[in-house]
Structure 1
Amino acid sequence: MTSFRPAPGWLADAVFYQIYPQSFADSDGDGVGDFAGITERLGHLAWLGVNTVWLNPCFVSPFRDAGYDVADYLAVAPRYGSADGLAKLVDEARRQGIRVLLDLVAGHTSDAHPWFTASADDPDDDRYIWAPEGCPDGYVPSPGARPGAYLPNFFASQPALNFGHARQDPAEPWRLPVDAEGPRANRAALRSVIDHWLRLGLAGFRVDMAASLVKDDPGRRETATIWTELRHWMDRAHPEAVLLSEWGDPEVSVPAGFHADFFLQFGGATDGLALRSLWSNGEGTVNEDWDPLDCFFDASGRGSPRPFLDAWQRACAALDGTGFISLPTANHDFSRLNCGPRTAEQLPVAFAFQLTWPTLPAIYYGDEIGMRYVPGLPDKEGSVLGPRYNRAGSRTPMQWDDSANAGFSTASADRLYLPVDPDPARPTVAAQRADDTSLLHLVRRLVALRTSRPELGSAGSVEVLHAGHPFVYVRGGRYLVVVNPRRDGASHRLDGYGAATGARPLEVSGVRVDGDTVTAEGFSYGIFALGR
């Protein structure tokens, strides 16, 4: 394994919070969230206890893919405000103990980016991948004077930057090696973009589609080499900054140089399976290629924590303490925790697990109050990916209070980026702040518990006592955790572990410890301090 400088000390204690900026808080009444709106709401995040914020892309863009089609990496999109507004957000967040990460789209640009418009007119420009004649399968016809077609990375409006091909193919003689002039220029540009923003006080980046750089790259070896080179530079130039990858395969991405990777809906051979088998029922964001799964955090009790546990154990062995795995509640690409048949009473047990497991927790905005995936929304900036895959339902406005537009914006409802959840019983921050028994208060207490007890954090050991219903484990030899996500009760005898009669409840709902037996009601959780 390549030797890197150890990750910054702050990362081990990170509690991430993902903000979809156009849906979080609108300060100027135009119906779209902005930097000033986020700045005004930082008090909510500080009160909640999160210490690291990740913003979805906020660069200049035509927004055919909600900002993941970048037209200028060094300028912020006017819809969000100005560069000064972003600087103010970063400074105010720092004062409240919160670091800010940006989202970096490394593998492609918008077709409106000046790099691409120049390349589309210059047959000698190799910054993008061009087939000089015809239009091979998967390519898009040239929009400029240059003949042939270009390779997109996702949508047709997102041409792939040329980081080279790992293998040559006589059928595609235009393939360039990774050390050709165009790929070298792109590697240098990637470093320059990162350097620019880190020098302005950002704490790092979440990297979109991080595995997509080098094409025809078995095992992603050449792509990993690019990130390894960049990590060594960052260790020297910006040792306190971090890179998080949207790779979904920590066993590959962390040894390549990333400080952390997310368990995602997709990924390596079983890492995508790990998250889908944990708590995604796929409502509204189902890829037709995915096999249906019984997830563990489902009322039926048919699922098991074992697929997640196996993937996590294997990834930990591969990482060997060199980086981290992050476990998100959801994100902008897949359904929220509250989706489909899952109900509000099932959410507390999910947070009890997420915030006591030795991964870095990532809370998607609104999940802390139980916002739901809203079905049936129209396509918005490329949100629809298939007949059963519409990401808009996870991108609706944050629900702050019971005022117009749930306190998100003063704009008329027809001008909102996306409609507010129409359910009259929708949860709000204000209502849950006023209710000590709410999900919001529970999440806050769980974050505080994790923060104040290192054994419950990323570095504490974990001993699994029962990988079923209930799921039972011990953190740091000092804290017993019991979670039962099904509607039916369950119990487990702690044979061979020793009497837990000294267990002192720290955060408990529906779980009791009697001697060597734990008994858990349906949808229950318990965190206990052990007396041994």
Structure 2
Amino acid sequence: MQAMDWLKEAVIYQIYPQSFQDTNGDGIGDFQGIIKRLDYIRSIGINTIWLNPCFDSPFGDAGYDIRDFYKIAPRYGTEEDFEELVKEAHAREIRVVLDFVAGHTSMDNPWFQAEAEKPHSADSNRYIWRNRDFDPATGPQKGDFVSNFFWYQPALNFGYSEITEPWQDPLHAPGPQKNREEMRKILAYWFDRGCDGFRVDMAGSLVKPQDTPASVEATKAIWQEVRAWMDEAYPDRVLLSEWSFPSRSINAGFHLDFMLHFNTPGYSSLFFNGKGTLAPPKDQAYCYFDAEGQGSLDVFLKSYSEQREATRGKGLITLPVGCHDFQRLRCAPRGWDELRCAWVFFMTQAGPPTIYYGEEIGMRFVENLEPKEGSTLAGITAVNAGTDLGERAGTRTPMQWDDSKNAGFSTAPAERLYFPIDPDEDRPTVESQDKDPNSLLNFVRELIRLRKANPVLGTDGEFTFLNTTEQHYPFAYLRELDGARCLVVINPSRHARSVDLRVAGEPCEVLLGQGCVCERHGESLSVTVAGHGFGIIPLR
């Protein structure tokens, strides 16, 4: 099966491995823990898992500072454990996607250490050295090399599109060529061990100076080269980007891009409510998915429509349900009543859904946790870093499996856990929600089932916004595919809202709904939706 064929049908589950399931009692999740929970993952309707970085690292940035791209981090297990995970996942028809940090490494990486020992060697060209005359007794310090995110993550050298300093290499110098070749070696190594694809961290950060027109085109050319190689050597493997700029990334050869909180606007205006990790856009008093019902769809509709049109027939866009880099969906003041509306939106989007672990049971953003492994976004100039709030710990707490010790995550003493368990006595668990037919978990399962059973709601279906610039609530859009048509109406507000839609077709029995009434009145379809209500309505 070709890569895009299976990716279009994917429902992706993001696993933060250190927080998912611990099996050896050290307080940190591991591969055996993921294997233990594969049946649960499959029961949701998931067919693809994406693991945050699991390669050898000093964990200054939770694994995004890689020491050895060819070695599994011992805290997660061995390469044999990884191969067992892939085997067991594939046996359940679940694909496995890894996280690839293409643009930088750890300072502990042997490549960096070797260049730091011989900074004036002609072979010391994997990194971008501003100053090679540092004190050998102390080694390179902040400012001696170009960094990509935190200062201690030295940028790999892919060249400069515009040379302004003597220490900058052109695009096809030996260093950049070496790194381009190494990228393919790394990908091939893990593809040959069963990996089904990679999500690429900071995919747009390769060529410097970042984000100029020339450097963007040069970075795109590198990824197009990788994609051409993959299509020839590994045609069934996927490349997903953290670029949050689909019109760039898809045209660079990526199969899919995550539309997030940076580069292209829209996501933040829907969900960021002023609490948690990242701040809402400037001058935004209310996000759209807010009980007050005073948000706006304008920014999202414009941005999403532009990105959809620019990538039509070329690649896919996903709007993820949560992420390790920002606050969870259930972040005060957003409560339980508001979650289902958001889930209806996420599961009826035109791209493959992506679900961050624990969102399916409504895990909350836990405030006031001590930072760990670079969880605090401070003093960073990268385009996907926060500036006003910036603590990510609250969205990385351990998965809540049951009411046993440490919520079933680990048998370790509480003080040894990677992060503390949510202290809320009423915290949701998989066990309790699995038993409750009216739980959020079972609601999510039903949404995924409906998506799979009704292709019009899936990736191939057209997506047409029906809201006017004057009326933002309820959110209404039409999904269409091969003559099938389905209206989706969502009201995140606590107040009932009505709208008259100029859309053809008679409403059929609601596939899934809560407080939604839809009637034909001449040329208009009149829809009334209760507070926090929604409807998925076929039209004939």
1:321 is aligned to: 313
Q: Per-residue displacement from partner, 1:388-412 (whole Å, max 9, x unpaired)?
A: 2110100000011111111111111
- 1:38: Cα distance to partner? 0.5
The correspondence of residues 286-301 of structure 1 with structure 2, limited to 5 A, is: 286=278, 292=284, 294-301=286-293
2:537 is aligned to: 528
Stretches of structure 1 that go unaligned for 5 or more consecutive residues are none
The correspondence of residues 214-229 of structure 1 with structure 2, limited to 5 A, is: 214-217=207-210, 218-219=212-213, 220-229=216-225
1:473 is aligned to: 477
1:153 aligns with 2:148: yes
- 1:280: Cα distance to partner? 2.1
1:162 aligns with 2:171: no
Inter-CA distance 64–145: structure 2 relative to 1 (3 Å threshold): closer
Task: Decide which of 326, 343, 356 is 1:364's aligned counterpart.
Answer: 356
1:355 aligns with 2:347: yes
- 1:357: Cα distance to partner? 1.6
1:11 is aligned to: 7
Name the CA distance, whole Å, in 2 between partners of 1:442 and 1:47: 13
Name the CA distance, whole Å, in 2 between partners of 1:509 and 1:251: 36
Question: Structure 1 runs of 4+ off > 4 angstroms?
Answer: 140-143, 145-148, 287-293
- 1:345: Cα distance to partner? 1.0
2:451 is aligned to: 450
1:374 is aligned to: 366
TM-score using structure 2 length: 0.92
Do the aligned partners of 1:133 and 1:147 also contact (CA within 8 Å) in 2?
no
Name the CA distance, whole Å, in 2 between partners of 1:20 and 1:164: 32
- 1:465: Cα distance to partner? 2.3
The correspondence of residues 297-446 of structure 1 with structure 2, limited to 5 A, is: 297-386=289-378, 388-446=389-447
Identity %: 49
1:129 is aligned to: 128
1:185 is aligned to: 178
Do the aligned partners of 2:397 and 2:422 also contact (CA within 8 Å) in 1?
yes
2:526 is aligned to: 517
Query: In structure 1, what residue type is equivalent to 2:508?
Result: A
Q: Per-residue displacement from partner, 1:288-340 (whole Å, max 9, x unpaired)?
A: 99664531111111112232121111111111210000110110000110002
Name the CA distance, whole Å, in 1 between partners of 2:100 and 2:327: 22
- 1:143: Cα distance to partner? 4.8
Task: Decide which of 24, 27, 51 is 1:28's aligned counterpart.
Answer: 24
Please say which of residues 293-302 and 17-26 is displaced more in the overlay. 293-302
Name the CA distance, whole Å, in 2 between partners of 1:460 and 1:404: 45
2:383 is aligned to: none
CA RMSD of aligned residues (A): 2.0
- 1:147: Cα distance to partner? 13
Match of 2:341, SS state, is: helix
Query: In structure 2, what residue type is equivalent to 1:486?
Result: S
Q: Per-residue displacement from partner, 1:396-452 (whole Å, max 9, x unpaired)?
A: 000111111111111111110000000011111111111111110010000011111
Inter-CA distance 287–277: structure 2 relative to 1 (3 Å threshold): closer
Name the CA distance, whole Å, in 1 between partners of 2:508 and 2:137: 68
Please say which of residues 17-26 and 476-485 is displaced more in the overlay. 476-485
Do the aligned partners of 1:61 and 1:69 also contact (CA within 8 Å) in 2?
yes
Inter-CA distance 216–327: structure 2 relative to 1 (3 Å threshold): same
Name the CA distance, whole Å, in 2 between partners of 1:518 and 1:288: 30
Please say which of residues 458-467 and 404-413 is displaced more in the overlay. 458-467
Match of 1:511, SS state, is: strand
The correspondence of residues 258-297 of structure 1 with structure 2, limited to 5 A, is: 258-267=254-263, 271=264, 273-286=265-278, 292=284, 294-297=286-289
- 1:16: Cα distance to partner? 0.9
Match of 1:346, SS state, is: helix
- 1:284: Cα distance to partner? 2.2
Stretches of structure 2 that go unaligned for 5 or more consecutive residues are 379-387
Query: In structure 2, what residue type is equivalent to 1:410?
Result: T
Query: In structure 2, what residue type is equivalent to 1:183?
Result: P
Please say which of residues 149-158 and 245-254 is displaced more in the overlay. 149-158
Do the aligned partners of 2:259 and 2:267 also contact (CA within 8 Å) in 1?
yes
Match of 2:466, SS state, is: strand
Do the aligned partners of 2:55 and 2:72 also contact (CA within 8 Å) in 1?
yes
Name the CA distance, whole Å, in 1 between partners of 2:117 and 2:281: 37
1:200 aligns with 2:193: yes
Do the aligned partners of 1:141 and 1:148 also contact (CA within 8 Å) in 2?
no
Inter-CA distance 321–141: structure 2 relative to 1 (3 Å threshold): farther
Please say which of residues 290-299 and 61-70 is displaced more in the overlay. 290-299
Query: In structure 2, what residue type is equivalent to 1:506?
Result: L
Q: Per-residue displacement from partner, 1:467-505 (whole Å, max 9, x unpaired)?
A: 5211112211421211001111101123x32453x4211
Do the aligned partners of 2:494 and 2:531 also contact (CA within 8 Å) in 1?
yes
Inter-CA distance 147–504: structure 2 relative to 1 (3 Å threshold): closer
Name the CA distance, whole Å, in 1 between partners of 2:438 and 2:358: 17
Inter-CA distance 101–6: structure 2 relative to 1 (3 Å threshold): closer
Do the aligned partners of 1:69 and 1:108 also contact (CA within 8 Å) in 2?
yes
1:175 aligns with 2:165: no
Name the CA distance, whole Å, in 2 between partners of 1:263 and 1:147: 32
Task: Decide which of 499, 503, 512 is 1:497's aligned counterpart.
Answer: 503
Name the count of aligned residue pairs.
515
Name the CA distance, whole Å, in 1 between partners of 2:139 and 2:33: 39
Do the aligned partners of 1:24 and 1:397 also contact (CA within 8 Å) in 2?
yes
Inter-CA distance 142–321: structure 2 relative to 1 (3 Å threshold): farther
